[in-house]
Amino acid sequence: MLGKNASTELSTRQVNCRLSASLGLKMGTFFRLAYDLEKYFLNHTGASWPHGSRQKMMNRSGPAQRAKFIYTGIHVSNLERSIKFYTEELGMKLLFRTGIQETGGKVAWLRSKGSSQILELNWYPSRYTYGGTRGLDHLAFEVEDARDYYRRLSRNHEAPIEPFREGRWILAYVKDPDGNWIELGHQVKKKGTREKRRRKKIEG
């Protein structure tokens, strides 16, 4: 039910959602198309298009890519001790642990029963430049294209680590307005997987 002062007009976000739906496009594709249209308009008329810039649309409707929060990573000074604390004292389950070749450190993932939240414990050797022994390490977000997301955020925010490959992931790091580290990442798709399955099916 509409309140006394509620407006019956559609918000910019609702309009954009309906436009993208009517065109059969995902929101990310819709905004990229809007950006291309604006570029075309600028190149051929020398003026901004009538309904404002893409940036104004982005501010009202969110980024062109969706970012999905994955986990919270914290610094630990002793990985074994921390795993023991979170599993024995707080009842969390150890999902996996592994070494990280790129940093020389070690990580462990834990989760509580019935929760989708992941806690990542990060141990770094003293020689690692960006390491620590306590407090927040980073907040991790999965995006469609970490390189593109990093490039966009680095225009207005501190961006200490450029995109790089770590195993099956492309990762990059930026900082929020208060200096907290944000990890941006996307998984690298395996090339030829579909073709291999097709061949296997034919040969089998």
Q: Go through the domains of the chain in sequence order and give each one's CATH number.
A: 12-61 (no CATH), 68-187 (3.10.180.10)
Bridge-partner residues for 100, per DSSP?
A: 105
Is 183 among the catalytic positions? yes
Give the integer Cα–Cα distance in Å for 21 and 9.
18
Q: Assign 65 a pLDDT band (cuts: 50, 70, 90).
A: confident
d(CA 194, CA 140): 29
Instruction: Please give the model's pTM, rounded to 2 decimal places.
Output: 0.61
Cα–Cα dist 147/143, whole Å: 10
CA 39 to chain centre: 26
| CB-based contact 71:118 (threshold 8 Å) | yes
Tell me, what amino acid is at 35? Answer: Y
Q: Which residue has the higher pLDDT, 36 or 56?
A: 36
**Mean pLDDT for the chain overall:** 77
CA distances from 100 to 72, 95, 113, 159 (A): 17, 16, 26, 21
Catalytic annotation, pick one of 162, 183, 195, 203: 183
Token readout for 113 is 């029963």
Residue-wise pLDDT tens digits, 126-139? 999 998 999 999 99
Specify the DSSP element, H or E, that contains 186.
Answer: strand 181-187
Mean pLDDT to the nearest integer, 4-10: 42
Listed in sequence order, the residues at least 6 apart from 179 whose beta carbon sits closer than 8 Å to its beta carbon are 158
